[in-house]
Amino acid sequence: MVQHQADEGILGSMEQTLLGGRYQVVRRLGSGGFSRTFLVTDLHLPNHPRCVIKQLKVQDKDTGTLDMARRLFDTEARVLYQLGNHPQIPALMAHFEEDQEFYLAQEYIEGSRLNRQIEEGKPWSETRVVLLLQEVLEILSFVHRQQVIHRDIKPSNLIRRHRDGKLVLIDFGAVKQVTSSPLLDAETGATNITVAIGTHGYMPNEQYAGKPRFSSDVYAVGILGIRALTGLHPQKIEEDPVTSELDWRQYAPMVSSSLVAVLDKMVRYDFRDRYPTAQEALEALQNLPNPLHGLVGTQIYQTWMKGANGRGPTFPDEDSNTAVGPTETSEPTAFADDQDSTSLFPVGLAYGNGNGSAAGTLPLIADAHVPGFRRYPRRQSLVIGGCLGALTIGLVLWRSGLTIAFELNGAGHMIPFQMATVPSLTTDLGRLLPPEEKAAFLTRQGDRLLAKGRYPDALSTYNDAVASQSEYAAAYLGRCKALIALKRPLEAIAACDDALAYSTYYPEAVRSKGNAEEQQGKLLAALTLYEDTNRLMPAMFEAWLDRGRVLQKLGRSAEAIAAIDQAIARNRDSAEAWTVRGEATWSLERYDQAIIALEKALQLNPDYAPAKELRQKARQTLGR
């Protein structure tokens, strides 16, 4: 009670103060032993967009402790800045120190934490778990490529974002590092400068011992999968007394042997026996046999997406007869408290070597009853999907996040449940999905078509999404991008304006509107929008590249170089960014720098025509 009253008093005083001279506190989101989090509005930006401030609680404010806190706080800020370029990791907006307190301003994530969906005593199906693990490992593969170990993968650190249904990985832990354990060794008086975090049940033995590795994260993801499959918290699963391996399979006897093998390797006691990085674990999951080999259930699965207005699907075991129910919370639950206790241990800063590439994101799926399909005893049912050769409809449904239900007839042969009544995904999707989910599903379909260069088909699909849910901002953004690809900038601007009307904080839409203005030749208008995007989401590489490109078109080469350097700091593997830098340095007669930039571009992409043309021009001019 005393602590609660103290927190309320602090909140009341903070509401009267602008944090960092620009952030107005709206309300407190959470308070724990290590930090407090607040929902704030940024008064320095148009429309006062929301973001989240995390305040570090430093109890001991002597000079040595504050210096250590400052160093570790800066470390987390650098890591977040580095990782925030990924669309499924919150972007760092700012970090600052004020009155010997430390603050992080991060992107506002509105969504539902995974620990509200992985419930005790309610096991998930095998198919659903595989898709979840793949989506988590795709994000984690990016993290590992940046030479960072997360160290605290658990359900409450994964958010299903309402806006587009994608998972977001949060909490990279340096703030908790500062206050997690004594900064001075009680016996030697030496400064403890290496601290890190972890959660009981998700943390392998080498992390307890202070030597986390990339495979420590792999272990935590494996535990996440086992928790979903068994419906048991990992602390309730015993170890084999001889091998020290987790004895979890007795709680999920129907899981296929192929998935068991992958999960067992992910959670080996000895880190040397695990997949070394998330990428290797992801590849193992992607190479699993098709789901025909496992009993998954008799219900059709549908793509699970958060729709507009904070509504999402109801799960089969929930007390509801409706297909759609209110989401668990409308708070940015990335920053709320959770039942998983985080423990902290002295360890080294978690950096190492790792390689790999992220694959396309697969959707999380949720069970849903479908009209026209009969329910059968689980022991007589199989769900099949994936690559089934000539069974084209099976492939189409599996690739779309759906599977087909089958049963055994009297002769022991598999026959489909009313196969002829399976609706067309393109013509009768409304039979399966309520409007909000249908809009999200169609938007994801449009995104895939757009990525394949099928712009008219993508535009048509986005239009269908808008027709299904007129307030779904992501569909308008997709429409904007498709119209830009089709060279229809005026219509694209209108679509981006619609996206911004339904989502006030939407940096991607601001940037795309800039692309449309640039396509019309309105370079100054485009530049303003790119600058706005840089302020809204500093970690977005593409907006810095856009800004540098337009500045160069305007003949402002020195400014272009500054912007491009910001882009390259976020993504060194862009041939276009290096080419623009080469062009800008050439304009300023910095010929050696131009040659270096163009050669770097051609190393990344030997066939990139703009770089080849500029490099040839340089050779002819300089004779080398």
Residues annotated as part of the active site: 152
How many Cβ atoms sit within 10 Å of the Cβ of residue 340? 18
> Which residues lie below 8 Å from residue 61, measured CB to CB, with a gap of 6+?
100
Give, as one character, the DSSP assignment of residue 193. -
- What token pair was written down for 205? 């033995």
Q: What is the dihedral of CA 532, 538, 540, 546, to 10 degrees?
A: 50
Side chain identity at residue 587, one-letter code: S
CA 332 to chain centre: 14
- What token pair was written down for 481? 């991008």
How many Cβ atoms sit within 10 Å of the Cβ of residue 35? 20
User: Ramachandran region of residue 434, left (φ > 0), alpha (ψ -120 to 50) or beta?
Assistant: beta
- Rounded to whole angstroms, the Cα distance separating 525 from 598 reads 29
Using alpha carbons, list the distances in angstroms from residue 488 to 131, 158, 495.
37, 38, 11
- What token pair was written down for 574? 């862009």
Closest C-alpha to 108, from 335, 343, 303, 347: 335
CA 27 to chain centre: 25
Closest C-alpha to 128, from 408, 315, 283: 315
- Rounded to whole angstroms, the Cα distance separating 432 from 528 reads 43
- What token pair was written down for 423? 């609706």
Helix, strand or coil, per DSSP, at residue 61: coil
CA 368 to chain centre: 25
Whether the CB-CB separation of 529 and 539 falls below 8 Å is answered with no
**Helices and strands: H and E segment counts in the chain:** 20, 18
- What token pair was written down for 229? 């499959």
Whether the CB-CB separation of 538 and 42 falls below 8 Å is answered with no
- What token pair was written down for 329? 């919370």
Exposure string for 267-297, b = 16+ CB within 10 A, e = fewer: bbbebeebbbbbbbbbebbeebebbbebbbb
Enumerate the H helices of 364-454 as residue ranges. 392-399, 435-451
Please report which helix (H) or strand (E) contains residue 98, including its range.
strand 92-98
State the Rg of the chain over Cα.
26
- Rounded to whole angstroms, the Cα distance separating 242 from 463 reads 60
- Rounded to whole angstroms, the Cα distance separating 202 from 374 reads 39
Kindly report the backbone phi and psi dihedral angles of residue 169, in degrees, each rounded to the nearest multiple of 5, phi listed first.
Answer: -95, 130
- What token pair was written down for 34? 């290590």
- What token pair was written down for 555? 């003949």
